[in-house]
Amino acid sequence: MDSQKNEAPVVIDVRDIKKKFIVYYDKGNTLKEKAIFSKRRRHEVHWVLEGISFQVRRGEAVGLIGQNGCGKSTTLKMLTRILYPDAGSIKMQGRVSSLIELGAGFHPDMSGRENIYTNAAIFGLTKKEIDARIDDIIAFSELEAFIDNPVRTYSSGMYMRLAFAVAINVDADILLIDEILAVGDAAFQAKCFNRMMEIKAKGTTIVIVSHALSQIEQICDRTIWIQNGRIRMEGAPRDVHPHYMAWMAQKNAGQQGTQKPAEDTKRWGSGEARMEKITVLDGQGRERNSFSPEEAFTVRVDYAANSLLPNAVVGLAIYRSDQTYIYGTNTLIDTSEPVKLQKQGTILLHIDRLPVANGHYTIDLALHRPDGFDYDFWRECASVSIAGAVQTPGVIHLEHHWKID
């Protein structure tokens, strides 16, 4: 799959783009003030981007990360042509859909149905194409009962649902996303995330800006870390993210006037909830780490929280020793319901079997909000060894039999 992406054509080509903003400190608001106080128009030129270059191939998913103000959202807005670079060039190939300014084209006095046609037309769909999709858009938004009401009567959650439903159903070649996967309630967020994974599987090119690193690791093939208007590092998410989190830990420690902490590149989060102990148990409840591909095991998480967290998500990812992503899921995807974390408690995840080739596998666990904000992300917090009777080539172990006449 990776080799196919490397051979795919480039559909986003960003060449040495630069972007500045002028910030005025004493600017007159009226014509009279501008004429009288013309010498007082002090301003500062702030360069947000100082030369960013990267390419994205068809079918590739790329995450942009960095601290607030680093220029990642500005980069995304230039890809959508909301903003234009002061220098450099951007070339895009294909229909582009953006989840950045959701509902930017909505008119409050028009109905939801009328706004679907207007907003989808902005994305480049013809009336015939919108006619063919409108039932799917309305169904996805779950607003059937309100679709002919004026949008001004919608709650903010309903407004965002409709906007997301339009943007996600235009069959774009390129999808641009900026921190908007936390739309609506927990069930709708799970549906949005699952739809994102379906879109990726179909070969849509994706560029996403997010502070939720676990979300990026589930969706993206590559991460670009932007710092002070330049690319600091890019590569596989699991290679880039530890360096970024170590840098953030050092930066935060410096701001608090403390000594540089020991760098923990395998764990991060706000600490509002924290996993205290991770244990792998066999079918009899005994602590064990070696299993056959057919055996069941349970991952036990003992946790503590500063306060009751009624809207949490528990996530898991499994990687082979060479960092090949084997499997990932979370409670929101599986149940469409939020998890209520107590001040102290236990989480059990029962896995019926791990049908993979013989080898060593590590487990990542996360406690986070539905929008991906991490309370506690713990990479490689547990491991299991799979040892079957026969060494299976490849990645997975398939039950099979031969019949030769």
Q: Which residues contact 71 (CB under 8 A, 6 or more apart)?
A: 19, 48, 49, 52, 226, 229
Most confident of 203-212, 289-298, 323-332: 289-298
pLDDT tens readout for residues 80-105:
888 999 999 999 999 888 877 666 66
Q: Report d(CA 139, CA 112) in Å as an integer.
A: 12
Selected residue with higher pLDDT from 171 and 65: 65
Q: Report d(CA 163, CA 102) in Å as an integer.
A: 5
Is the residue at 402 inside a domain? no
Over 50: is that where the pLDDT of 261 sits? no
Split at pLDDT 50, 70, 90, the class of 262 is: very low
Is the residue at 100 inside a domain? no
The enclosing domain of 202 has a CATH number of 3.40.50.300
Residues 204 and 87 in one domain: yes
Average pLDDT over residues 349-376: 91
Residue whose C-alpha is closest to residue 282's, from 194, 351, 383 = 351
Contact 21, 229 (CB under 8 A): no
Phi, psi of 318 (to 5 degrees): -120, 130
Over 70: is that where the pLDDT of 126 sits? yes
Report if pTM > 0.75: no
Strands 222-227 and 230-235: antiparallel
pLDDT tens readout for residues 6-21:
678 999 999 999 999 8
Domain with 156, as residue range(s), is 105-170
Contact 76, 54 (CB under 8 A): no
Q: Report d(CA 226, CA 129) in Å as an integer.
A: 37
Most confident of 24-33, 38-47, 267-276: 267-276
Lowest mean pLDDT among 58-62, 70-74, 259-263, 381-385: 259-263
Residues 86 and 62 in one domain: yes
Residues 166 and 178 in one domain: no
Over 90: is that where the pLDDT of 206 sits? yes
Residues 72 and 180 in one domain: yes
Over 60: is that where the pLDDT of 202 sits? yes
Contact 255, 247 (CB under 8 A): no
Over 90: is that where the pLDDT of 188 sits? no
Lowest mean pLDDT among 180-184, 232-236, 295-299: 180-184
Residue 257: the pLDDT is 47
Residues 280 and 382 in one domain: yes
Average pLDDT over residues 321-338: 85
Distance set, CA 305 to CA 72, 213, 274, 276, 381 (Å): 32, 21, 6, 10, 18
Residues 227 and 336 in one domain: no
Residues 65 and 127 in one domain: no
Over 50: is that where the pLDDT of 260 sits? no
Residues 281 and 330 in one domain: yes
Residues 285 and 306 in one domain: yes
Split at pLDDT 50, 70, 90, the class of 41 is: low
